[in-house]
Amino acid sequence: MEKVDVDYVDGLKLLYRTNSTRRKGLLVVTAAETNRANIMTFGAWHVSLIDPHGWCFVMHVWEERYTHLLIGRNGEFTVNIPREGMKDILAYCGKVSGRGHDKFKELNLTAVRSRHVTPPIIGECGVHLECRTINKYSVMEGHEREGVRPAKATAFQGRILSVYADEDIAEDLKQES
């Protein structure tokens, strides 16, 4: 199916659509120097308009995650909204680390060259955002208590360079507008 550009605002609405949130997550793709891409399931994010950078996708990633290492190195990622029926893929990508697994290969997913960044998009997903990190900052999750240190994460703020979707989804967006 052909991927077509969609209006940023209409495309971003898809992140918050009822049928999108029922899927319980997005798939974020990062790439290593070896060009082997990694997929991570992601359930908490927000989008903001930050002038002069435009629309930004912000997510917190735990420091020990492989995705954290890869975004920290190359500063780019894609966000992919799964289609219905991808619940098992979301579950697997949320449980298995990309350090020792090629999730694209193991799940028989298609890595499609993205338009503006190095990490690919997932061909089987219906909507794609391409992002380049413009800011990152450390955050602590939780409070220090006896014998337990709070977890550390980084908030990656990625400028959204492009939003595009499968033709059927783009057509539905036009009809809704």
Q: What are the tokens at 55?
A: 């629309």
**What is the third-level CATH fold of 3-176?**
Pnp Oxidase; Chain A (2.30.110)
Check whether 19 has a pLDDT greater than 60: no
The pTM of the full predicted model, rounded to 2 decimals, is 0.85
DSSP 3-state percent helix, strand, coil across the chain (nearest 5): 25, 40, 35
Q: What are phi and psi of 103, to 5 degrees?
A: -65, -35
Residue 142: predicted pLDDT:
65
- On whether the CB atoms of residues 110 and 3 are closer than 8 A, the answer is no
Spatial CB neighbours of 58, under 8 Å, sequence gap ≥ 6: 45, 46, 47, 48, 155, 156, 157, 158
Distances in Å between the Cα of 102 and the Cα atoms of 48, 105, 161, 165 are 32, 5, 26, 25
DSSP, residue by residue, 114-131: -SSSSSPEETTSSEEEEE
Residue 22: predicted pLDDT:
46
Q: What is the mean pLDDT of the chain?
A: 83
Mean pLDDT of 104-128: 93
